[in-house]
Structure 1
Amino acid sequence: MKLNLKKAGLLLSGVVMGSKLFAQTPADTTIKTQDYVQPFSGGFRTWSVGLHGGMMSPYTIFRGQEDYKTPNERWGYGGYVKKQLLHSFGLQANFFRGHVQGTTPNGINIYNRFETKIKYAVDISANITLANINWRNHKSFMQPYLSVGGGSMNYSTSLYANAGATAANARTDDFQQFYIPLGAGLKVNLAPGINLDLGYQVNFVQSDNLDGYNYGSGNDKFSYAHAGLEFSLGKRSKPQLATHNPVNSMRVEYLTAERALQMQVEQQRAANEQLRNDLNTTNANLARLTTDSDGDGVFDMNDKCPNTPRGTKVDGQGCPLAAPVTKVYVTEEDKRVVKDAITNLEFDLGKATIREKSFPSLDRVAELLVNKNFSLKLAGHTDDTGSDALNLKLSKDRAESIKAYLVEKGANASRIEATGYGEAQPIASNKTAAGRQQNRRVEFTLF
């Protein structure tokens, strides 16, 4: 009996503690579609089904004068279909089966043990959800609840006689009785639309024949402590009505409207700032109409060459006038310098690396370019040994290598053009070694 008392006490404590907990998912400034539904707009899952199993006992938390002193726990199971009408109120159709058993009757009785088989019990109950209202959270994590209803059960009671009693060893009677289920429990959200259901229910039978023994003036009752799963029906995108927080949805609506108003204020402030910047830009542009920063006689807005030195003669766009062009002619001596560079030009085999032997004649070409400001075109060529792509790259690299050397010696890079033609322009036959040697060349064109 003490063990039963402890079990029921722990179960009741768990339910009471659950009703005190507002275990909620944290508030979030981001509105999640699975948590948020606009107030009074519908869009919820309201139908659900559940299955459960647990322990039945003639012992209940409502202590009274039980007909039998020693209750024995037996298993029971059942299920339900629920329609959630409001956030905190729903109607539930319940069904369960099981056994109730006890020994050692109070008073004088030739039968010392009873076992009642509940063939079926059906009822309609009101389910009241508690503690799912909170200002700061979208949905609750736990929902304590209370339930009360009424229904009918069919059961058969078997009585077993004491050893040596003169009565028949066993007696079985069948009954159909009205009963009132009164329960409390706690639902824990495991996943969207799936809840763990922990409950304790006391069933008040409207007769004193549940144990087959009329003792005292009260009706019989028995308890059913159970655990099970509840599954919400409908689209997964919709939240479950029983777990939804309508107060927080109204709060979200208020905060959303407040944020929208704040955004409008910020946008108007940004627009005002843009107008101020545009006005400043317009004033600056107007000032430029009469501004000549470098004093060359051309206003800044039309000056294509700002910051020209004082006293420089400029054209109508403010750019310095070109100096008179002095013609420079290519002499025979200049051509000899270039020809000497071509004759002495050598590269490492298959590479664009200039050999040191070629440096003195290239230095004279660089000096010529610097002193007379000549332009130079470098055209690289190869024989037909190797692939077209490789020859084209090698000829281009060798021409670029010569250009880099000349620029390093002071020549103007913008006046030197380096091009590679690969094997496309031979000057001799590639079938002989001598012909291939002539085709491996870099041509210098001075102008």
Structure 2
Amino acid sequence: MKTNLKKAALMVTGVLLGGSVFAQTNDAGSGDAIKPFSGAGAYNTWSIGINGGLPSLNLLTGGHNGFNHWQPTAGYGLSIRDQVVHSFGISLDYNGGMVKGDVSGSLPYVTNNLGNRYTAFSTKFNQVSLNGVLNVATVDYLRRKNAVQFYLNGGLGVVYYTPTVTGYNGGDFPTTASSSFKSSALVMPIGGGVKFRLSDAVALNFGYTENFIDANSFNGVSQYPKTSHYSYGYGGLEFSLGAKSKPSLQWSNPIVGIQNEYMTEERRLQNQIDAQKAANDKLRSDLDATNANLAKFTTDSDGDGVPDFFDKCPGTPAGVKVDGAGCPLPVAEAPKPDVKVYVTEEDRKVVRDAIKNLEFDFGKATIRAHSYASLERVANLLVNKNFSLKLAGHTDNVGSNDANLRLSKDRAESVKSFLVSKGANPSRIEATGYGETQPIATNKTAKGRQANRRVEFTLF
């Protein structure tokens, strides 16, 4: 077992050095839009893989196998993996197939520790193991997109195997024609490989695993104290699970996310500075013009409170009420009695549907198009029944307090603007933002934060 562990350590070191030397070629998406420290909920972390390959006792490391002629056989596998962080995941793996071999050349048979002789074997096996998967060189500092990924894997599991051996029927120690038995043992798989990203959801996977077995009869011939191990070289496909709107965590480049956030904030601050400078220049120009023309704006010949410069009806008799242009106001009609309109359950359903369907672009106050229809029904309700509406915007606690307060206010104002554009009375709509101050669920989970990102409608 010590010899096998030494070989495994050398193999792991070789794959690690290989993964560090080769540069990645990045030409696919990597979740650039995700803000840093958004948590695993912002990514797709689960994936499922299938593979096929060649299991062997002689392919690379050989093991203690005395059968010197390997016969190619088929193997297959299935894996389910959760990417815990960018560089590390946990995988539940299943492998099955058959390993075959015989003797040729100058070695006519294999002898076990009891003196029995054998000429060939075939072993059927099924293996289940839990493995850690370490992604090597997952961040590309030369390009923005990740497309190639090297990895190491290792873990622990159980292998169930049924070896069948063919006896040697000549010489001094003849044996039976064939014999078989069933057994199981602990197994330690160690290996590595490389993945090629084909699309947002599919990757091509090539790998090699050496499986060290805590037993000495995997090939049906006990050669105690030596222990058994077999290799598995494979190729297959890996499919990412989850929403199409989320990037895969294992392919994302966190450096790009940090850069994008910095550049976005830099542009926002520069735009704010430019806007403030333009506003200051305009104020200065307006003040100069006001001081230059102050005299002609103060004369009021008819005493109606409107300076002559703006008075379109000069000479208004004293005591007559005038409008802003200096013209007499029309006589007001007698007020009409108010007609009471009540909020019905159907009206409340229209509002609930609008809240349910309301969605914004990520981190913005832009209403998504599929929300328009339910908002138009709310606008029709406000127009037809002359209701009043209060809009209250809320966010989760991700980001600064000022940014969250501003975003919640902007989203409420965006809904108000849409309703006004459809004919609603702006004086009957109040839009307020509360930021992260009024959560309705915990901000410690992705589901709770999603519930806290909302705009509440109050109809009265």
TM-score by length of 2: 0.53
Task: Give the match for residue 99 of structure 1.
Answer: 98
Whole-Å separation in 2 of the counterparts to 1:284 and 1:131: 69
Q: CA deviation at 1:26?
A: 6.1
Cα pair 2:63 2:228 within 8 Å, conserved = no
Deviations 1:291-323 (A, max 9, x none): xxxxxxxxxxxxxxxxxxxxxxxxxxxxxxxxx
Task: Give the match for residue 4 of structure 2.
Answer: none
1:237/1:36 Cα in 2 relative to 1: closer, same or farther (>3 Å)?
same
1:102/1:93 Cα in 2 relative to 1: closer, same or farther (>3 Å)?
same
Is 1:205 the equivalent of 2:213?
yes
Task: Give the match for residue 129 of structure 2.
Answer: 123
Whole-Å separation in 1 of the counterparts to 2:23 and 2:30: 22
Q: CA deviation at 1:123?
A: 0.9
1:95/1:261 Cα in 2 relative to 1: closer, same or farther (>3 Å)?
same
Deviations 1:175-219 (A, max 9, x none): 111111111011111111211111111111111101112336321
1:25/1:284 Cα in 2 relative to 1: closer, same or farther (>3 Å)?
farther
SS in 1 for 2:265: helix
Q: Which stretches in structure 2 are left out of the alignment for 5+ residues? A: 1-12, 295-460
Whole-Å separation in 1 of the counterparts to 2:292 and 2:72: 93
SS in 2 for 1:152: strand
Whole-Å separation in 2 of the counterparts to 1:155 and 1:189: 34
Deviations 1:385-412 (A, max 9, x none): xxxxxxxxxxxxxxxxxxxxxxxxxxxx
SS in 1 for 2:181: strand
Whole-Å separation in 2 of the counterparts to 1:252 and 1:74: 50
- Partner amino acid for 1:25? N
- Partner amino acid for 2:37? F
Task: Give the match for residue 194 of structure 1.
Answer: 202
SS in 2 for 1:50: strand
Q: CA deviation at 1:172?
A: 1.0
Task: Give the match for residue 37 of structure 1.
Answer: 34
Whole-Å separation in 2 of the counterparts to 1:37 and 1:134: 17
Cα pair 1:45 1:233 within 8 Å, conserved = yes
Q: CA deviation at 1:250?
A: 2.1
Whole-Å separation in 2 of the counterparts to 1:256 and 1:54: 47
Deviations 1:85-135 (A, max 9, x none): 1111111111111111122267646211111111x2111111111211234
Within 5 Å, give how 1:80-95 maps onto structure 2.
80-95=79-94
Whole-Å separation in 1 of the counterparts to 2:27 and 2:287: 48
Whole-Å separation in 2 of the counterparts to 1:35 and 1:110: 63
Task: Give the match for residue 76 of structure 1.
Answer: 75
Whole-Å separation in 2 of the counterparts to 1:65 and 1:157: 15
Q: Select which of 257, 261, 264 maps to 1:256.
A: 264
Q: CA deviation at 1:233?
A: 1.1
Q: Select which of 158, 161, 170 maps to 1:155.
A: 161
| Same amino acid, percent of matched pairs | 33
1:281/1:43 Cα in 2 relative to 1: closer, same or farther (>3 Å)?
same
Aligned length: 274
What CA RMSD, in Å, does the superposition of the two structures yield over aligned residues? 3.4
Deviations 1:303-353 (A, max 9, x none): xxxxxxxxxxxxxxxxxxxxxxxxxxxxxxxxxxxxxxxxxxxxxxxxxxx
Within 5 Å, give how 1:201-350 maps onto structure 2.
201-215=209-223, 217-274=225-282
- Partner amino acid for 1:185? G
SS in 2 for 1:263: helix
Q: CA deviation at 1:173?
A: 1.6
SS in 1 for 2:68: strand
Task: Give the match for residue 352 of structure 1.
Answer: none
1:103/1:211 Cα in 2 relative to 1: closer, same or farther (>3 Å)?
same
Task: Give the match for residue 342 of structure 1.
Answer: none
1:15/1:214 Cα in 2 relative to 1: closer, same or farther (>3 Å)?
same
Whole-Å separation in 2 of the counterparts to 1:284 and 1:22: 69
SS in 2 for 1:92: strand
Cα pair 2:93 2:130 within 8 Å, conserved = yes
- Partner amino acid for 1:192? D
- Partner amino acid for 1:160? T
Q: CA deviation at 1:252?
A: 2.2
Deviations 1:232-288 (A, max 9, x none): 1110110111111223322322222222222223333444555566678889999xx
Q: Which stretches in structure 1 are left out of the alignment for 5+ residues? A: 1-11, 287-447
1:142/1:19 Cα in 2 relative to 1: closer, same or farther (>3 Å)?
farther
Whole-Å separation in 2 of the counterparts to 1:171 and 1:36: 61
Give the number of the structure whose alpha-carbon radius of gyration is greater: 1
Task: Give the match for residue 53 of structure 1.
Answer: 52
SS in 2 for 1:191: coil
- Partner amino acid for 2:275? Q
Whole-Å separation in 2 of the counterparts to 1:192 and 1:149: 28
- Partner amino acid for 1:194? V
